[in-house]
C-alpha cells in the first residue's frame, strides 16, 4: 500500500495544487480517493482559508468527472468494421482497459492497513470517472470470462448475465482477486439500485424500447424472439432452437404455444425475464405490467378530457399531478402529443375503448 495515503496532507499552496500533484504522482483514480478522504476529514472546518482550499479541491475533482466521456460499444470488432465504427470500437475498448486498470488501483487506494476496504468510496471514484454503464460492463465482462472457474457467488453470475455483452468480449485485464471484486460488485449494485430509484427507473422513451430490452435479455438466456406470425393477436413468437414455444401477446402476456412440447417451468422463466426487464424500466406493479399501450391511450384521453373540461374543480396540486401523468404517457407513446386539444375527446376515448375487454 502507498504510505502517503495515510499521511497528513499538508504543504500545498491550494486545493488545485494538491489535486495536480497527487494526480501526477499517483494517477487520477488514487488521487480521487486520497482527496475525497481529506475532504471528509475537513467537512466541518470553520477556518475560512481551509474552506477555500477544500472548495478549490472539490472543483478540480468535479471537473475530472467528465474526463472519460466515450460511449460504451458492446458489439464485436467485426461488427464495428462492417458498420463503419471500428474507430468507435477501438476507443471504447481503450477506455474499458483503463477502467480495468483503475479497478485494481482503486481497491489498493481504498484498502486500510487492517485489510478492510472502503468499497463505497471505491465505487464513487470509479463511477465519477467512468460512469455506471461502463463500470457495469467491465465488471460483468470480468465475471463472465471467469464463469468457467466458478469463483463468484451464483447471484454475481446472475447479475453479470443480465448485462448485454457480445460473446466476443473476454476480460480487460482486472487483476483484483474474486473475493474483492465480489464485494465491489455488491456495493456497485446497491449504488445502481439507488441511482435507478432516484431517476424513477430506466427512461422509457417508447414502448418499443422495453420490447428491445426484453428481447436482448431473452437472447442472453438462450431464447430467440421473432416477429409474430399471428400479428393480429401477438407481438412476438418466442423460440428455442428454432422451435416456437410461446407468444408475447398484445396485452403483454406470455402464453404457451399449445402445439409445442415445453419443459416444465420454461414459460414461467420467460415471464420472470419479462418481469425483471419491466422492473428496470419502472413499469411493473405486482405481478403484471403497469399498463398495456392500449390502456395507456385510454388513460391519456381521459386525462386530457378531465384537464380541459370547463368549470372543473381541480386544485393546483391535483392539476400538477394530472399534468405529470399526461407528460409521462406522452414520453412512453410520443405520437399521442399529436392529439389536438380541441378534439372531441369523448369520441376519441370511446374509440380507444372499442375492442378492449371489460
Helix (H, G, I), strand (E, B) or coil at 311: coil
User: Are 84 and 190 in a shared domain?
Assistant: yes
CA-to-CA separations, 281 to 177, 199, 208, 319, in angstroms, rounded: 33, 10, 12, 25
Q: In the listed set 236, 265, 288, which residue is the last one of a domain according to the structure?
A: 288
Of the two residues 169 and 100, the one the predictor is more confident about is 100
In a domain, 358, yes or no: no
CA–CA dist 170, 142 (Å, integer):
7
Residue-wise pLDDT for 239-256, tens only, equals: 988 899 999 988 888 999
Q: Are residues 149 and 216 in the same domain?
A: no
Report the alpha-carbon distance of residue 100 to residue 98 in Å, rounded: 5
- Structure confidence by residue, pLDDT tens digits, 287-311: 455 566 676 777 777 777 777 776 6
Model confidence pLDDT, tens digit, residues 174-226: 888 888 999 999 999 888 877 766 655 555 545 677 787 788 888 888 898 88
Please say if the pLDDT value at position 84 is more than 90.
no
Q: Which three cell numbers stand for residue 129?
A: 470517472
pLDDT value of position 355: 46
Length of the chain: 358
Residue pair 267/256 in contact (Cβ under 8 Å)? The answer is: yes
Is residue 161 domain-resident? yes
> How many structural domains is the chain composed of?
4
Has residue 71 been placed in a domain?
Answer: no
Indicate whether 271 and 297 sit together in one domain.
no
83 and 186, same domain (yes or no): yes
User: What would the grid cell of residue 280 be?
Assistant: 428496470
Predicted pLDDT of residue 252: 82
Instruction: Calculate the average pLDDT of the chain.
Output: 78
Structural domain includes residue 260: yes
Domain enclosing residue 240, as ranges: 207-288
91 and 60 in one domain?
no
**Strand blocks (E) in 267-328:** 284-285, 288-289
| E strand map for 228-337 | 234-240, 243-249, 254-256, 284-285, 288-289
* Domain boundary pick from 46, 66, 86: 66
Residues 106/126, Cβ–Cβ less than 8 Å: yes
pLDDT exceeding 90 applies to what percent of the chain?
Answer: 13
CA distance linking residue 32 with residue 40, whole number of Å: 12
pLDDT at position 317 = 67
pLDDT confidence of residue 226: 87
167 and 224 in one domain?
A: no
Q: pLDDT, tens digit, for every residue of 252-272?
A: 889 999 989 888 888 889 988
Same domain, 316 and 243: no
Residue 149 is classified by DSSP as G
State whether 14 and 110 are in the same domain: no
| Residue 273 and residue 211 share a domain | yes
217, 191: one domain: no
Of 165, 180, 198, the residue at which a domain comes to its end is 198
Question: Which residue in this structure is represented by grid cell 428496470?
Answer: 280
10 Å CB burial of residue 305 (0-12, 13-18, 19+) is: middle
Residue 72 lies in a domain: no
State pLDDT tens for residues 14-49: 989 998 898 888 888 888 888 888 888 888 888 888
Looking at the fold, whether 167 and 192 belong to one and the same domain comes out as: yes
Question: Rounded to two decimals, what is the model's pTM?
Answer: 0.53
284 & 299 share domain: no
Pair 35, 62: CB distance under 8 Å: no
213 and 275 Cβ atoms separated by less than 8 Å: no
Amino acid at each position: 500500500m502507498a504510505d502517503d495515503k495515510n499521511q497528513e496532507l499538508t504543504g500545498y499552496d491550494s486545493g488545485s495544487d494538491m489535486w495536480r500533484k497527487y494526480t501526477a504522482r499517483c494517477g487520477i483514480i488514487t488521487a480521487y480517493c486520497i482527496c475525497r478522504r481529506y475532504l471528509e476529514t475537513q467537512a466541518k472546518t470553520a477556518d475560512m482559508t481551509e474552506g477555500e482550499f477544500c472548495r478549490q479541491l472539490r472543483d478540480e475533482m468535479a471537473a475530472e468527472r467528465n474526463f472519460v466521456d466515450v460511449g460504451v460499444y458492446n458489439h464485436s470488432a467485426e461488427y464495428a468494421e462492417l458498420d463503419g465504427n471500428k474507430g468507435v470500437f477501438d476507443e471504447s475498448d481503450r477506455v474499458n482497459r483503463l477502467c480495468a486498470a483503475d479497478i485494481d488501483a482503486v481497491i489498493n487506494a481504498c484498502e486500510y492497513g487492517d485489510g478492510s476496504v472502503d468499497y463505497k468510496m471505491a465505487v464513487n471514484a470509479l463511477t465519477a470517472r467512468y460512469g455506471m454503464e461502463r463500470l457495469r460492463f467491465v465488471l460483468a465482462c470480468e465475471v463472465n470470462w471467469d464463469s468457467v472457474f466458478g469463483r463468484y457467488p451464483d447471484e454475481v453470475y446472475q447479475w453479470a448475465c443480465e448485462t448485454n455483452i457480445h460473446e466476443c468480449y473476454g476480460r480487460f485485464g482486472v487483476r483484483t482477486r474474486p473475493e474483492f471484486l465480489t464485494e465491489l460488485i455488491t456495493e456497485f449494485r446497491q449504488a445502481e439500485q439507488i441511482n435507478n430509484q432516484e431517476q424513477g427507473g430506466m427512461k422509457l422513451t417508447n414502448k418499443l424500447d422495453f420490447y428491445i430490452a426484453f428481447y436482448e435479455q431473452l437472447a442472453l438466456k438462450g431464447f430467440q424472439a421473432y416477429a409474430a406470425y399471428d400479428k393480429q393477436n401477438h407481438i412476438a413468437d418466442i423460440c428455442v432452437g428454432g422451435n416456437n414455444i410461446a407468444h408475447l401477446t398484445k396485452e403483454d402476456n406470455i402464453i404457451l404455444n399449445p402445439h409445442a412440447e415445453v419443459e416444465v417451468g420454461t414459460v414461467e422463466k420467460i415471464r420472470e425475464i419479462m418481469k425483471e426487464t419491466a422492473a428496470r424500466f419502472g413499469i411493473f406493479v405486482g405481478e403484471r405490467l403497469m399498463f398495456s399501450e392500449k390502456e395507456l391511450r385510454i388513460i391519456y384521453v381521459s386525462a386530457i378530457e378531465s384537464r380541459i373540461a370547463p368549470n372543473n374543480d381541480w386544485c393546483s396540486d391535483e392539476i400538477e399531478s394530472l399534468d405529470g401523468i399526461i407528460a409521462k404517457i406522452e414520453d412512453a407513446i410520443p405520437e399521442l402529443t399529436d392529439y389536438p386539444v380541441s378534439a372531441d375527446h369523448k369520441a376519441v376515448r370511446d374509440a380507444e375503448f372499442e375492442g378492449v375487454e371489460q
